């Protein structure tokens, strides 16, 4: 009977430690940003003038370990971009989300994106995206369309 009680106590201690560990971590922070801005790409990207008007309201959730050190983050929220060239316009919803490492570097994205690739293309991508150390898409699993081809 003593052996059963000791085993039960040991299991209770182990489960208590495992269940209490996440509670000891610093809670994540949430920051929401709203912004509207324009980007003039000139004719360097597509060979013709390209403008982008961006409207976004995004939330950055940052995760921390129990010592308060950031371990990663996720950026979510609606982002709408209106690309224009001459009289033609293309509107895209590109909400992501975006996933960051502990240093705040973009490492992965899912959903829809307007992004540059490692080989210099400017694409609308949908699916899973892996980013290189420069913030360019190095791997896209899913659909992709050259944004310049939309005009």
When the pLDDT of each residue in the chain is averaged and rounded to a whole number, the result is: 86
Both tokens of 105, joined, read: 């570097």
pLDDT tens readout for residues 76-109:
999 999 999 998 999 999 988 999 999 999 999 9
Kindly report the pTM of this predicted structure: 0.74
Q: Report d(CA 45, CA 82) in Å as an integer.
A: 16
Which residues fall within 8 angstroms of residue 129, CB to CB, at 6 or more apart? 108, 109, 110, 113, 115, 137, 139, 140, 141, 142
pLDDT tens readout for residues 10-69:
333 433 433 444 556 789 999 999 999 999 999 999 999 999 999 999 999 999 999 999
């Amino acid at each position: 009977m003593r052996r059963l009680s000791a085993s039960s106590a040991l299991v209770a201690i182990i489960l208590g430690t495992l269940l209490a560990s996440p509670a000891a971590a610093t809670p994540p922070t949430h920051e929401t940003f709203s912004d509207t801005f324009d980007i003039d790409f000139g004719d360097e990207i597509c060979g013709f003038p390209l403008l982008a008007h961006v409207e976004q309201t995004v939330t950055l959730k940052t995760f921390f370990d129990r010592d308060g050190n950031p371990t990663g983050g996720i950026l979510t929220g609606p982002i709408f971009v209106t690309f224009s060239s001459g009289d033609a316009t293309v509107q895209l919803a590109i909400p992501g989300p975006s996933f960051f490492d502990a240093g705040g570097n973009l490492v992965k994205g899912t959903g829809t994106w307007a992004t540059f690739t490692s080989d210099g293309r400017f694409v609308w991508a949908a699916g899973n995206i892996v980013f290189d150390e420069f913030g360019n898409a190095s791997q896209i699993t899913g659909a992709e369309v050259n944004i310049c081809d939309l005009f």
